[in-house]
């Protein structure tokens, strides 16, 4: 796809995210890393990752994709949101690019191969803002059987989501709140856009898992949690995993209390009452196992980011033969 539209007076319209920034020549978008240079969109972080690690895929978190495998994970500086609780704010809210670090798309895939990674995760900051770089990596990776995973705030443009179906395997999408005003005023995004992104991804066949960071006093009221659970169950599908993660103080919310186990358990019960089959609790020592929705057999037993036992054969429950939704090979 072409990542921008040419407008009058040497302006361009960026097509990477739903901000759809209209940029004058020399102007940079909200994300801080996509710029109008000579009437073309230049992704300034292309080839310049800031964070690069080998992670368990469970850390993304992706629980229904190649369990107990390694994901080559990387991110750049910049973001199109301004979340005050961001755990990676040192890079996501940074605009200075270290251009001494250079990794071509082929070199990134070679790193994955050399380290035995079964997937590449585009993560740490918002990968939509470096989508041209991500896609160039992902196309090479897909051709040799390496999976591609986006960890995203879900604010992709409609054009990018449509393009993703050509190379992306899965995404963990943050559903941060059920309050449009909170999304716009605090996060600088939009709830309705994220909801539509989720629906589009599911309809395109991209494997989707959802994460909600539960912050007491911000997004944990029963009404909103029930509305989120019902949205997932009825508009996306009961098979879509929902990761409910406990908040720990960080960035601009260092004085805010850690989410209690009581609040996390409440959210879990609301999700299960809505009929969701796969609900997981993150940043706690509570439920992380995958259980067959039909017969109750424990299929994957987890301990933190580690996997203690995998009792699933070719994506099916060994006891009742129910097909378990996900990417298993």
What are phi and psi for residue 175, nearest 5 degrees? -110, 95
CA distance 233 to 293: 14
Q: What is the DSSP secondary structure assignment for residue 139, as one 8-state letter? A: H
Q: Give Cα 117 distance to the centre of its chain.
A: 18
CA distance 115 to 267: 38
Rg (CA), the chain: 19
Q: Which two tokens stand for residue 25?
A: 């020549």
* DSSP per-residue string spanning 164-213: HTTT--EEEEE---S-HHHIIIIISS-HHHHHHHHHHHHHTT-EEEEEEE
3-state secondary structure of 131: helix
- Beta-bridge mates of residue 13: 5, 22
pLDDT at 147: 98
Could you read off the pLDDT of 13-35 as tens digits, one per residue? 999 999 999 999 999 999 999 99
CA distance 229 to 54: 32
- Whether the full predicted model's pTM is greater than 0.95, yes or no, is yes
**Burial of 256 (C-beta count, 10 Å sphere; 0-12/13-18/19+):** middle
Segments in the chain forming alpha helices (H): 89-92, 105-114, 131-143, 158-164, 180-182, 191-203, 222-231, 261-273
User: 93-105: string of b/e by CB count within 10 Å (b at 16+)?
Assistant: bbeebeeeeebeb
Pair 26, 37: CB distance under 8 Å: yes
Could you read off the pLDDT of 105-135 as tens digits, one per residue? 999 999 999 999 999 999 999 999 999 999 9
- Residue 2, pLDDT > 90, answer yes
pLDDT at 92: 97
pLDDT at 177: 98
pLDDT at 285: 84
pLDDT band at 293 (very low <50, low <70, confident <90, very high): very high
CA distance 181 to 65: 33
- Residue 304, pLDDT > 90, answer no
Give the domain ranges of the chain.
4-43, 51-288, 290-329
Q: Which two tokens stand for residue 22?
A: 């209209």
CATH superfamily of 51-288: Aldolase class I (3.20.20.70)
Could you read off the pLDDT of 198-229 as tens digits, one per residue? 999 999 999 999 999 999 999 999 999 999 99
- Residue 286, pLDDT > 90, answer no
Q: Which two tokens stand for residue 130?
A: 């470096």
CA distance 91 to 87: 10
CA distance 286 to 49: 34
Q: Which residues contact 305 (CB under 8 A, 6 or more apart)?
A: 55, 56, 58, 59
Q: HSE-up of 168 (CA within 13 Å, CB side)?
A: 28
CA distance 256 to 252: 9
Q: What is the DSSP secondary structure assignment for residue 322, as one 8-state letter? A: P
pLDDT at 306: 84
């Amino acid at each position: 796809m072409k990542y921008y539209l040419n407008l009058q007076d040497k302006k361009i319209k960026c097509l990477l995210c739903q901000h759809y920034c209209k940029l004058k020549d020399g102007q940079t978008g909200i994300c801080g890393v996509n710029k109008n240079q000579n009437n073309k969109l230049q992704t300034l972080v292309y080839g310049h990752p800031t964070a690069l690690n080998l992670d368990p895929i469970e850390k993304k978190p992706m629980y229904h994709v190649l369990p107990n495998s390694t994901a080559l994970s990387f991110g750049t500086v910049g973001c199109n949101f301004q979340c005050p609780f961001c755990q990676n704010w040192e890079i996501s809210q940074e605009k200075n690019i270290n251009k001494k670090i250079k990794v071509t798309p082929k070199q990134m895939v070679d790193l994955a191969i050399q380290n035995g990674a079964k997937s590449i995760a585009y993560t740490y900051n918002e990968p939509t803002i470096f989508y041209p770089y991500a896609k160039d990596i992902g196309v090479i990776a897909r051709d040799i059987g390496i999976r591609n995973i986006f960890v995203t705030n879900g604010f992709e443009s409609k054009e990018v989501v449509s393009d993703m179906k050509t190379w992306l395997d899965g995404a963990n999408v943050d559903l941060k709140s059920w309050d449009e005003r909170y999304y716009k005023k605090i996060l600088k995004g939009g709830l309705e856009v994220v909801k539509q992104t989720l629906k589009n991804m599911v309809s395109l066949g991209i494997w989707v898992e959802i994460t909600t960071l539960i912050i007491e006093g911000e997004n944990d009221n029963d009404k909103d949690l029930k509305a989120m659970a019902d949205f997932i169950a009825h508009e996306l599908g009961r098979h879509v995993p929902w990761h409910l993660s406990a908040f720990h103080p960080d960035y601009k919310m260092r004085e805010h209390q850690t989410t209690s186990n009581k609040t996390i358990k409440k959210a879990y019960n609301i999700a299960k009452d809505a009929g969701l089959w796969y609900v997981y609790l993150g940043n706690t020592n509570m439920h992380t196992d995958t259980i067959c929705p039909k017969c109750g057999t424990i299929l994957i037993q987890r301990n933190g980011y580690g996997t203690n036992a995998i009792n699933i054969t070719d994506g099916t429950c060994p006891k009742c033969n129910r097909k378990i939704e996900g990417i298993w090979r």
